[in-house]
Amino acid sequence: MKSIKFSRSPLLSERLPPWRQRLMLVVLLGAFVTLIARSLYLQGFNNEFLGDKGRARFERVIDISATRGRITDRNGDVLAVSTPVRSIWAIPEDAQLAPAQVRSLAALLEMDVREINNKLASEREFVYVKRQLPPELADRVTALKLPGIHQKNEYRRYYPSGEVMAHMLGFTGIEDAGQEGIELAFNSHLSGKAGSRRVIKDRRGNVVEDVESIHPPQEGRDIVLAMDSKVQYLAYSYLKQALEENRAKAGGVVVLDAQSGEILALANLPTYNPNNRVRLVGAQLRNRALTDSFEPGSTMKPFTAALALEKGKVRFDTPIQTAPGKMTIGSATISDAHVHGMLTVAQVIQKSSNIGAAKLALSMTPQEMWTMFDSLGFGAPLKLGFPGEVGGRLRPAKTWRPIEQATMSYGHGIAVTLIQLARAYLVFARDGELVPISLARVDTPPVNGKQVFSAQTAREVRAMLEMAVLPGGTAPKAQISGYRVAGKTGTSLKIEGGAYVNKYVASFVGFAPASDPRLIVAVMIDEPSNGKYYGGDVAAPVFAQVMAGSLRTLGIAPDAPLKPLLMTSVEPVREEM
């Protein structure tokens, strides 16, 4: 077959039908008109659509962080403040880094190379590489000029007092929101509200134009606490010393202003450093003064005596027979460690007789005692707004058996927190009046107090509590040179698995100057294990140290001659358990 050139192909001589030419012309003209109409519609009538699409590629609404409010003590000393930090973030799609670049970034951030690669392999549009870096370190990362890697301004909380105030202040999380303590309790007050602004960014995420401010940030408000940082340091230091000397498991100290109800100090051990929480464990977090309840032991006896006085069952000097040192109630027997014989009501408190306290309790009805305990705030949280606060344990009066009523008179069968116990002693320091206590500074004296006992009853019990710290009482180690002191020891066995075990809680609560009480100090030492466990030996010395330092720090005038303390060579009377 002869080959035929393409230019001479017979197909080229064929003519198309006229209708096909016209059809193609109509189609092309129609498409052209459609494009013109669509263009006019989008650019002339519905131009917002294209504008939105354009802005979506370059405009961004970014948050403007609000500075968290400061926390200060009553004298203006800063306890918590937000410091500027920066966070490194990435756009994974843009962050196409060479292996050498990833290694350089990992070395600066002290991160594993695989961790960074995993973050940059994310399908998300935005990932944090590492947060809360010092500004100088973030600048070094920026100097690497890595594609898709950016930085953001943030804030990090700093606590100048470290572990001394950790339980009271708490801390914030990575998003600068309160997680524990005051930071959590007053989070809405401190945090403020973030603002926002609209900006234009280039493809690398750099802001090239600030378009407008949408919402200005509302800065967080400051909080002035009732706490005094100097008193807090005294409480923390002496508590730490006591735990080391007595090889104790834990402990707490609360200092209250008896006139205003303000919490001047609240220290717990073990504690933690809120600025470095890498190895933080749960036991360190517990604010034991508010979250842990314990049987208070003999620190409850003054309330039993006060109720008996108030009901007219006894007088200050009414004799009570405590011999032979044992008392059987039903199938149970309670006892005193020593046979005291005939004691007055005042001496029952001074010598801390279980028999005397039980006889006072059994002269009243269970409902009368329950009402008194309830009026003092036992059995329910104090509603300070502090996270984790518990109410202790106070069973309904109708469930009490006689033996339980007797043991509650000296602090067994009832559980309280240290903050509840400290607050309850306000009734003896304020002539029978109980007022709310406050975490924040109080500028005017409280006027919404509740009269639990008469002023006469409170003064008589105050005199008994003064006797308890003198020779012949259970706490001569609580005395302070130059000041009259009143207070009561407590020693109780711990309950584990529903049964008492050979572990102790030693406590002391007292106030000074006794002539015009200004401060209340409550001390609790959990499981002392260095040979001594009585409240008079373990907790009373801590009270004396904290109280003496606090009185002098606050400039409270002495109310007693400066003379040697009336310490005798004999051991203090042991409180009964």
Is the model's pLDDT at 569 over the cut of 50?
Answer: no
Q: What is the pLDDT of residue 56?
A: 60
Beta-carbon contacts of 10 under 8 Å, excluding residues fewer than 6 positions away, are: none
Closest to 302 in 3D by CA, of 575, 519, 532:
575
Average pLDDT over residues 401-415: 95
Q: What is the pLDDT of residue 57?
A: 59
User: Which DSSP category does 262 fall into?
Assistant: B
CA-to-CA separations, 353 to 337, 350, 409, in angstroms, rounded: 9, 8, 11
Q: Counting every residue, how long is the chain?
A: 577
What's the burial of 523, exposed, middle or buried (CB within 10 Å: 0-12/13-18/19+)? buried
Q: 105 or 62, which is more confident?
A: 105
The pLDDT mean for the chain works out to 88
Lowest mean pLDDT among 169-173, 213-217, 231-235, 467-471: 213-217
Please tell me whether the peptide bond between 270 and the residue prior to it is cis, using omega within 30 degrees of 0: yes
Per residue in 43-52, pLDDT (tens digit) is 777 666 656 6
Is the model's pLDDT at 564 over the cut of 90?
Answer: no
* Superfamily of chain region 59-86+154-225: Penicillin-binding protein 2a (Domain 2) (3.90.1310.10)
- What are the catalytic residues? 298
Q: 193 or 256, which is more confident?
A: 256
User: What distance in Å separates the CA atoms of residue 521 and residue 311, rounded to the nearest whole number?
Assistant: 28
Is the model's pLDDT at 8 over the cut of 70?
Answer: no
Q: What is the pLDDT of residue 269?
A: 95
Please tell me whether the peptide bond between 324 and the residue prior to it is cis, using omega within 30 degrees of 0: yes
Q: What is the pLDDT of residue 297?
A: 95
Q: 25 or 180, which is more confident?
A: 180
User: What distance in Å separates the CA atoms of residue 487 and residue 466, rounded to the nearest whole number?
Assistant: 6
Could you tell me what percent of the chain has a pLDDT over 90?
61
Answer whether 223's CB lies under 8 Å from 69's CB.
yes
Record the tokens describing residue 44, joined without a space.
Answer: 């002339």
Could you tell me what percent of the chain has a pLDDT over 70?
88
Per residue in 109-139, pLDDT (tens digit) is 989 999 998 888 887 877 889 988 988 999 8
pTM score, two decimals?
0.83
Quick one: pLDDT band at residue 149, thresholds 50, 70, 90?
A: confident
Record the tokens describing residue 182, joined without a space.
Answer: 């005051």
The domain ranges of the chain are 59-86+154-225, 229-553
Is the model's pLDDT at 242 over the cut of 80?
Answer: yes
**Assigned CATH for 229-553:** 3.40.710.10
Q: What is the pLDDT of residue 558?
A: 95
Q: What is the pLDDT of residue 570?
A: 47
Q: What is the pLDDT of residue 174?
A: 82
